[in-house]
Structure 1
Amino acid sequence: MLCMSKISISWDQFTIPTAASWVVKFVCKVKNYFSDQIGYQWLQSAKYSIKGTYTQLRCLGTKVPWQKYVWNRLTIPKHRFIMWLAMLDRLKTKDRLFKVGISTGDSCPICGAQVEKVEHLFFECELSRQCKLLVFSWLGVQLNRVTVFSLLMGVQKYSRSKYRRFIIITAVASLVYNIWRARNAAIWSLHIPIVQSIVKTIQAEVKGRVMNLLNSKTSSRDLDWFHSL
């Protein structure tokens, strides 16, 4: 039996045989990519780790100030995704669709009074504004902010408890998601849900999600606040 620890292969000089299987060719292709990006030192490292190699390979972009709010672990994943698109201004609002000739108009499908942009939908539109007021009244929070980002920043300053802050951010994500869902219903089903119905859905989603992820380290004071909702 060969002792693999004593075998030394010069991977940087290795030529892939033409008859090699697709698996071998793919492995060598990945090796070549790694070596081109970070050099051959990773092949000789005695403490190789996947995490370390990934850190070297990935592009280090500038961190955005809202990342910790969007990627809150309590938030329902599909809610995170829609809020992420809203923060990037990448939702397919009618103003964007109209500019590329996909939509015949750019007015808000809910109120019809203004051009539908992310800024209008969250929270200048009367329906979204009313939903926001009722949701924050339910949470016992008073914040007069008119954009998603300013609302999240207000939550950060308002709540001293990390647990409560995460729950409020979870509610904001649900609020954004359900307003976007109501907007889609107005377009595709020609039906606009009433404010009370949207708020009830948000309350049920937030309480159901948090109940499933309750932490045993949560203080009794925070638990009492949550159960009182």
Structure 2
Amino acid sequence: MTGNLTKRLSQLQQREKFSIKKLYLMMMPQYPRVPWKYMVLQPQLHPKFKFILWRAANKRLAIVDRLMKFGVQVPQTCVFCGLADEMFEHLFFDCPYVKTLWTRMLAWLGQHRLVGTWASELISINTATRRKSGYWAIVNYTFGMLIYLDVKEECSSFMATEELNDMYRSLATKTVMNKLGMKTASSPVTTSVELSWFFY
């Protein structure tokens, strides 16, 4: 709001009365619209699918390229096709295995179309979900379930060994200790036993 006090107050008036609503809307920050709003806020979607879908929409999944940035050493090849390094763009939907799976699911739902990139699929499903029909709720549910199962399978493949589980637990324990502002105990066994409730 610019100008002198009288001009600024006149902007907040509605029919010569002060409007709290106008003031509230002017004070609230205006954020850009997100391309996943209707898809993630679908009431029929299971909460665990919702959470993974929300993380995927924000590209915050714990897949190989992201784990490497955190210093976790895992096999880099795609667990589904084994043809390329596993990155977000490859997993959704450059991987021929995942692309074929989503194409078959779409055909089963009566949609015969080509599968696009992650961004185009996200916009397509989100736009369709706005129609609020039972059919599109099922398509959205199927998409959420596919993403969840892909991520679950991908994570289980490289977390299968005990060595990686110990490394992950150690990294997680250090992170939690740092977040809580606690110093690492002299015995790492004591620390992981004390914090075991946090991970299981």
Equivalent pairs, count = 141
Work out whether 1:174 is the aligned partner of 2:142.
Answer: no
Q: TM-score, normalised by structure 2?
A: 0.58
Rg: which structure is higher?
1
The corresponding residue for 2:79 is 109
RMSD over aligned CA atoms reads 3.2
State how far apart, in whole Å, the 2-side matches of 1:124 and 1:70 are. 23
Shift in Å at residue 185 of structure 1?
A: 2.6
Shift in Å at residue 100 of structure 1?
A: 3.0
State how far apart, in whole Å, the 2-side matches of 1:142 and 1:159 are. 18
Contact 1:111 1:126 in 2 (8 A): yes
Q: 1:144 aligns with which of 91, 97, 114?
A: 114
Going from structure 1 to structure 2, the CA distance change for 1:173 and 1:133 (only over 3 Å counts) comes to: same
The corresponding residue for 1:6 is none
Contact 2:45 2:144 in 1 (8 A): yes
Q: Which structure would you say has the larger RCO, counting Cα contacts within 8 Å and 6 or more residues apart?
A: 2
The Cα offsets for residues 148-201 of structure 1, whole Å up to 9 and x where unpaired, read as: 3312433466789531222211111111111111212322348xxxxxxxxxxx
Q: What letter is aligned with 1:85?
A: R
Contact 1:152 1:169 in 2 (8 A): no
Q: Secondary structure, in 3 states, of the residue corresponding to 2:60?
A: coil
Q: 2:37 aligns with which of 67, 72, 76?
A: 67
Shift in Å at residue 101 of structure 1?
A: 1.9
Q: Which ranges in structure 2 are unaligned for 5 or more consecutive residues?
A: 1-23, 162-200
Q: What letter is aligned with 1:92?
A: A
Match runs of 1:87-106 below 5 Å? 87-106=57-76
Q: Secondary structure, in 3 states, of the residue corresponding to 2:124?
A: helix
State how far apart, in whole Å, the 1-side matches of 2:146 and 2:28 are. 33
Match runs of 1:156-175 below 5 Å? 162-163=132-133, 164-175=135-146
Q: Secondary structure, in 3 states, of the residue corresponding to 1:145?
A: coil
Q: What letter is aligned with 2:44?
A: L
The corresponding residue for 1:218 is none
Q: 2:157 aligns with which of 175, 186, 190?
A: 186
Going from structure 1 to structure 2, the CA distance change for 1:84 and 1:113 (only over 3 Å counts) comes to: same
State how far apart, in whole Å, the 1-side matches of 2:158 and 2:74 are. 12
State how far apart, in whole Å, the 1-side matches of 2:121 and 2:38 are. 14
Shift in Å at residue 132 of structure 1?
A: 0.5
The Cα offsets for residues 95-132 of structure 1, whole Å up to 9 and x where unpaired, read as: 11113321244322332221211211112222211210
Contact 1:93 1:116 in 2 (8 A): yes
Going from structure 1 to structure 2, the CA distance change for 1:137 and 1:84 (only over 3 Å counts) comes to: same
Shift in Å at residue 145 of structure 1?
A: 2.5
Q: What letter is aligned with 2:58?
A: L
Q: Secondary structure, in 3 states, of the residue corresponding to 1:90?
A: coil
Work out whether 1:131 is the aligned partner of 2:101.
Answer: yes
